[in-house]
Amino acid sequence: MCGIVGYVGHRAAQPVLVNCLKRLEYRGYDSCGIALLGKDVEIYKDAIRIEALEKKLRPHINKAGIGHTRWATHGKPSQGNAHPHADCTGKIAVVHNGVIDNYLALREKLTQEGHKFRSDTDTEVIPHLIEKYFQGDLQEAVSKAIGDMSGSYAFVAIHSDWDGMVVARNESPLILGVGDKENLVASDVPAVLDYTDRVIYLEDGDIGVVTGDGVRCFRNGKQIDREVHRIPWSIEEAQKGGYAHFMIKEIHEQPRVIRNTYKGYISALEPVVNLGIRKDAGINDILFIACGTSYYAALVGQQVIQSLTQIPVRVEIASEFNYSDTVLGRTWVIVITQSGETADVMRALKKAKEVGCRTLAITNVVGSSATRLADETLYITAGPEICVAATKSFIAQLTMLYLMGLAWASGDIRSRVSMATELRQLPDKVQQLIDREEEIAAFGKYLAKYENVFFVGRGLNYPVALEGALKLKEISYIHAEGYPAGELKHGPFALLTPKTPVVAIAARDNTYDTLMANIKEIKARESPVLAIAEEGDIEIEKYVDFAVRVPKVSPIFSPIVNAVALQLLAYYTAKERGCSIDTPRNLAKSVTVE
């Protein structure tokens, strides 16, 4: 969600902070601001875009400062609620991600002590607490302040009488960028890549002191060493590279992403999968936990792994799991999170660890919180995904789930070898589909005139229908719902009209004939039907108005090509409607609050 940046070093801080904030725009925000450290702390902020804020800034040579992009939680988007927030003296400024659970009680107490508040945010209690405890040592004041706070936070504090920055983290991501006579703070890696490829991932309970000369990490008052990681991708990979939007660029990257995901797990000489992670004979079942798009990937993985391994598999939404009485026992808990920082997923992972479950994280980010907490990790190696709507990370997650099923499969080895061979051919199949995107663009223009769309599928492609609906609604702002095709008659039929198109995923599997019957029922209600159908399927043309053609693959792999077709359909629909595709309204890329 919100983006944090901080800089101290030999450069003028203001242009660095603005550049870093622009690198975090994909996270979603409704206001932004910076604070520059000098004899006084100067703050510039408003409920505007970064480009507009930049025009309001006057030149500064200050060598240190902090910045923020805010996604509103407490208090509406406004200049007063935008970060950074200051104390009463104007010497302290803070930027913060997370939620301070006890902020109301702290605010009341601080008000009684004479502190005056100017915003509706929970964040503003932090600079006031630091002011209360500051006696010349900012690190000590921050340490005492967080002793009063409960909740999640990643924050950076500066003081006009202190050289550098002090940072703290608890249940919200924060990294330190380690440079040459300059150091940075950020909530995500892309913010610092113009200046360094070396980062430290802070852990819960850490306090960091950041100056131009170096960074020091502390825990419980004692200095500790934290590993410096080199980022395996460049800033060029986090840029558009000539594409109109990050989303279409990331869709085009998917053939390479599939290869990168299976590379190293499938032998070049023999198509056999080896993940280096064994299934435990004592495990009774597998529980996937995820949110959003990752949850839909898990629903596909549930069916694939159950069918190949005969191990019972369950799937739960992380935010619901955290408040449920789910019985775990001898359960292997596998969390799926692109960022490795999703708040609900991290809480679920901790809950599973507390009861002694074996845990595995499937993630895209090396060194993220999930990788440090889980017993084992599998990386999807999708590279940086900037568009808020997940595309290549979803396809990479599906690829990894197929690899898991094949690695732990029981039964006929020839069947497994055949599937692994076809898995290696999927990049070419996806590329064939992308090469025909202009055909799909025409269907996007058709859908763009509607305000309600249903997506239906069966079996493995029911979760793909859910994902297709999610993609369309989040970037085109068209109301879209995904359903099992057989469930429309249990209520949603009441909404079908000539103005309610239905996108039907017609995979040539054991559900095909039943799906054709469902399509007939839909057409009887006069709804236009657009089918996602494989090449050579002539039968489908008898029942639908339009057909998006996808390359022929084995039914088990149909979710891959069908999902890519739906991504392109959503993209071109949103483009036709003139929507903000990469940064949809009200949404954030990394959801770090519950």
**Residue 24's Cα: distance from chain center in Å?**
13
User: Between the CA of residue 539 and those of 106, 209, 515, 548, what are the distances in Å?
Assistant: 67, 67, 12, 14
Of 132, 471, 575, 589, the catalytic one is: 589
DSSP 8-class letter at 247: H
Q: Which of 247, 140, 178, 143 is nearest to 476 (CA)?
A: 247
Whether the upstream peptide bond of residue 232 has omega within 30° of 0, thus cis, is no
Q: Determine the Cα–Cα distance for residues 128 and 88; give it in Å rounded to an integer.
A: 7
Strands 165-170 vs 207-210: parallel, antiparallel or unpaired = antiparallel
List of the chain residues with pLDDT < 70: 1, 238, 281, 588-594
pTM higher than 0.95: no
User: Between the CA of residue 285 and those of 324, 357, 397, what are the distances in Å?
Assistant: 18, 11, 20
The DSSP line for 484-549 is EGGGGGGTGGGG--TT--EEEEE-SSTTHHHHHHHHHHHHHTT--EEEEEETT--GGGGT-SEEEE
Kindly state the tokens that stand for 414. Answer: 């020839």
Q: Determine the Cα–Cα distance for residues 470 and 292; give it in Å rounded to an integer.
A: 8
Q: Determine the Cα–Cα distance for residues 63 and 356; give it in Å rounded to an integer.
A: 48
Q: Determine the Cα–Cα distance for residues 280 and 282; give it in Å rounded to an integer.
A: 5
**Residue 318's Cα: distance from chain center in Å?**
14
Instruction: Note if 589 is an active site residue.
Output: yes
**Helix, strand, coil percent values for the chain (each to nearest 5):** 40, 25, 40
Identify the residue whose tokens are 């223009």.
445
CB 471 within 8 A of CB 389: yes
Dump pLDDT digits (tens) for 437-449.
999 999 999 999 9
Dump pLDDT digits (tens) for 41-66.
999 999 999 999 999 998 888 999 99
**Residue 207's Cα: distance from chain center in Å?**
25
Q: Determine the Cα–Cα distance for residues 177 and 350; give it in Å rounded to an integer.
A: 27
Kindly state the tokens that stand for 105. Answer: 């009680």
pLDDT of residue 594: 58
Tell me the angle at which helices 413-434 and 254-262 cross, rounded to the nearest 10 degrees: 160
Radius of gyration of the chain (CA): 25
The values of phi and psi at residue 83, to 5°, are -90, 160
Of 2, 217, 357, 387, the catalytic one is: 2
Strands 3-8 vs 64-70: parallel, antiparallel or unpaired = antiparallel
Tell me the angle at which helices 292-309 and 462-476 cross, rounded to the nearest 10 degrees: 170
Strands 452-457 vs 85-86: parallel, antiparallel or unpaired = unpaired
User: Between the CA of residue 75 and those of 30, 44, 80, 118, 565, what are the distances in Å?
Assistant: 12, 19, 9, 11, 39
Kindly state the tokens that stand for 219. Answer: 């825990």
Q: Determine the Cα–Cα distance for residues 10 and 61; give it in Å rounded to an integer.
A: 10
Structural domains for the chain: 3-231 (3.60.20.10), 240-431 (3.40.50.10490), 436-579 (3.40.50.10490)
